[in-house]
Amino acid sequence: MTARRDIEAITERIRQRSRPGRERYLGRIAEASNRTANRAVLSCGNLAHGFAVCSPSEKLALGADTVPNLGIITSYNDMLSAHQPFETFPALIKDAAREAGGIAQVAGGVPAMCDGVTQGQPGMELSLFSRDVIAMAAAIGLSHNMFDAAVYLGVCDKIVPGLVIAALTFGHLPAVFIPAGPMTTGLPNDEKAKVRQLYAEGKAGRAELLEAESKSYHGPGTCTFYGTANSNQMLMEIMGLHTPGASFVNPGTPLREALTREATKRALAITALGNAYTPVGRMIDERSIVNGVVGLHATGGSTNHTIHLIAMAAAAGIAITWQDISDLSEAVPLLARVYPNGLADVNHFHAAGGLGFLIRELLDEGILHEDVQTVWGEGLRPYAVEAKLGADGGVVREASPRESGDEKVLAPFKKAFQATGGLKVLSGNLGHAVIKTSAVKPERRIIEAPAKVFDSQQGLNEAFKAGTLTGDFIAVIRFQGPKANGMPELHKLTTVLGILQDRGQRVALVTDGRMSGASGKVPAAIHVTPEAVEDGPIARIHDGDIIRLDADAGTLEVLVPAGEFALRRTADADLIGNEFGFGRELFAGFRQLVGRADHGASAFGTA
């Protein structure tokens, strides 16, 4: 009961804080719904351009404004495994729309980049900014005002948050998110990680490393570890933007196709032309956002969402903070162990009972808000199900199993892996930071050691190769924040620091950069804010300063007398090399406009 009261209190705190922004937002979408949410406002010339390639019957229906028209926003490309399956979705959606008496058109495409491809490369510095570009690209597609609802085809790291921002910006339209699903299980993630470590130590060659990586990332679908991409899918389902049970069904299967057809028909059913009008801007409220944070904690999800959820909520006029996220962590137990928080992948998680089981456990204990609106209707309880293929080829749903199929992967509430969530916010004289605790052993969650300071991830990697990273230490990697260079993900550091930890050294990381949902067994205080380029305290750390990271107490401190530390000059870094090449010169405006990590690292401002 205490946890339930705490969640109610935090939700009410968010509601009160958000009231002015939320009221302005709801007023805007009400005005949009009343004045512009149909094609009747378009001139004949507007309409002629909008349906020029449609069939005569479709032109007649669209001109008379008598049938719903569904806009498709797609992130398809055929380079990235997670998005390649979307190639065939528009034709499938159009066919399903016709069956339901509606029309569907591809409204626009959005870019979809992969942090896995750009990891450690210059292109990674565009990754976080791509979220806002995706939101803007989707907005351009929807700006034609031809649509009564929209479906969003997206999966991976920045794509889904960007699409959510766009959907909420067009909050007068119903929105259904349609996933592609995870790839089938390949080489186990822990075996892949071992080969990475051997390669970093010079004990395996490039051919062996490439073979291991290729066996792990081997076909269409999302990568199978529980990083940002799969955390996205969990969020869309627990926030009610997917149809029930849709998240973790593999691509290219009859059930995946049936779910896509069903989602199309549901999107058409909830337009203003019918009796179940569900504008997404009203549907997503403070309770929905809190449910998303609860799901993130209960599954040990991606640290990236401590940034993205703030930006997503802001698009709906809702103001959440890192403190809200941290306080919710204290009320939510960890119920899932999926790599890097365990050895299982998302396919194992799904087979053990998946989101349906987890949602039911949390609802039964009052840890989730049940009284929410979803694309499926009223209440979250209909999501405590398993989706299966019916005899007629359609989707049928059964109540999720009462027992987990594997309690080492998915625990019932009363056997939670830990009493608190998998994420924690740290505070102290270095500012604020985020740490993912679910993959870190309890005995490694407190470390006090001298700092080794670097102004780039390359600096630490070179020190490793030179053999100078000896003894216990806390690596400080600064000038990696959003204003400095776009806040790239520093996942490659996991391998180096993991090797040193395995050798018996006590090590940790402190950075104003990102580390993603793939951050693993090494304690990492990430997203440090204020960042170094804004004269944050991280820019005053010297080599040898003792830093104390205490993930249990939620503190991050440099143990230097306050007066001495305050008088230190902040370090400077030459960032000219981060300003040009691989398109980085085009994003100078983003680096100037972007907000702090704890404000969502957005170029659009806050709620």
> How many angstroms separate the CA atoms of 392 and 261, rounded?
13
Are 345 and 189 spatial neighbours (Cβ–Cβ below 8 Å)?
Answer: yes
> How many angstroms separate the CA atoms of 451 and 544, rounded?
5
Neighbours of 338 (CB within 10 A): 30
Query: Please, what is the end-to-end C-alpha distance for the chain in angstroms?
Result: 31
Give CA angle at 313 (309, 317), nearest 5°: 165
DSSP lists the bridge partners of residue 431 as 428
Which among 316, 376, 595 has a CA at the least distance from the CA of 481?
Answer: 595
| 509: CB partners within 8 A, 6+ apart | 474, 475, 477, 490, 493, 497, 515, 522, 523, 524, 525, 526
Q: In this structure, what token pair is assigned to residue 192?
A: 């892949």
What Å distances lie between residue 545 and 266, 474, 501, 522, 570, CA to CA? Answer: 58, 10, 20, 20, 15
- The distance of Cα 12 from the centroid of its chain, to the nearest Å, equals 24
Q: E strand or H helix at 16, and its extent?
A: helix 2-36
Are 86 and 71 spatial neighbours (Cβ–Cβ below 8 Å)?
Answer: no
Which among 229, 322, 211, 304 has a CA at the least distance from the CA of 490?
Answer: 304
Q: Which amino acid is at 131?
A: R
Q: Give every strand in the sheet of 175-178, ordered side by side.
A: 103-109, 69-74, 149-153, 175-178
Count CA atoms closer than 13 A to 54's CA, side-chain side: 22
Instruction: Write down the H helix ranges in 330-371.
Output: 346-351, 354-364
Q: In this structure, what token pair is assigned to residue 221?
A: 């679908």
Which among 367, 388, 370, 366 has a CA at the least distance from the CA of 379?
Answer: 370
> How many angstroms separate the CA atoms of 267 and 69, rounded?
10
Would the annotation count 114 as a binding residue? no
Which of 82-120 are b and which e, b meaning 16 or more Cβ less than 10 Å from the residue's Cβ?
bbbbbeebbebbbebbbebebbbbbbbbbebbbbbebbe
Percent helix, strand and coil across the chain, each rounded to 5? Answer: 45, 15, 40
| 62: CB partners within 8 A, 6+ apart | 39, 47, 50, 51, 54, 69, 103, 146
> How many angstroms separate the CA atoms of 179 and 230, rounded?
10
| 306: CB partners within 8 A, 6+ apart | 322, 325, 423, 425, 434, 527, 597
Instruction: List, as residue ranges, the binding site.
Output: 156, 223
Instruction: List, as residue ranges, the binding site for [4Fe-4S] cluster.
Output: 156, 223
